[in-house]
Chain A
Amino acid sequence: MPVPRARLLDLMRVQCRIFNSTFNPEGLRLGNKILRQRLKGPALASYYPRKMGTIQDLQRVYTDELDIFDEEEEDRFEKIKILKARGKGAPKKKRTAEESKKFKGKKK
Chain B
Amino acid sequence: MSMFRAKRLDLGCFVNVKVIRDHTKRKVFAEHEPERQALRYIIRNLSLPARTRAQAQLQLAQMHCYTRPTQIRNRCIEGGKGRGVLRDFKMTRYNFRMNALAGSIPGVKKAAW
**A interface vs B, CB < 8 Å?**
28-31, 33-35, 37, 39-42, 44-45, 47-52
Contact A48 B11 (CB under 8 A): yes
Main secondary structure of the interface of B (DSSP, over half): helix
B residues 1-30 touching A (CB-CB < 8 Å): 9-13, 19, 22-23, 26-27, 29-30
With A39-B34, A41-B31, A49-B11 known, 9 other A-B pairs at CB within 8 A are: A31-B46, A35-B37, A39-B33, A39-B37, A40-B33, A44-B30, A47-B23, A48-B12, A48-B13
Nearest-CB residue, chain A, relative to B48 = A31
Q: Give 1 or 0 for each of B77-110: 1 = CB within 8 Å of chain A CB.
A: 1000000000000100000000000000000000
Contact A30 B46 (CB under 8 A): yes
Interface centre among A29, A40, A48, by most chain B C-beta atoms within 10 angstroms, is: A48
Contact B12 A42 (CB under 8 A): no
Smallest CB–CB gap between A87 and chain B, Å?
33
Contact B29 A44 (CB under 8 A): yes
Contact B90 A47 (CB under 8 A): yes
How many angstroms from the CA of A51 to the CA of B11 in the assembled complex?
Answer: 5
How many angstroms from the CA of A51 to the CA of B12 in the assembled complex?
Answer: 4
Contact B42 A42 (CB under 8 A): no
Contact with B40, one of A30, A31, A47, A51 (Cβ below 8 angstroms): A31
Contact A44 B69 (CB under 8 A): yes
Smallest CB–CB gap between B48 and chain A, Å?
9
Contact B12 A31 (CB under 8 A): no
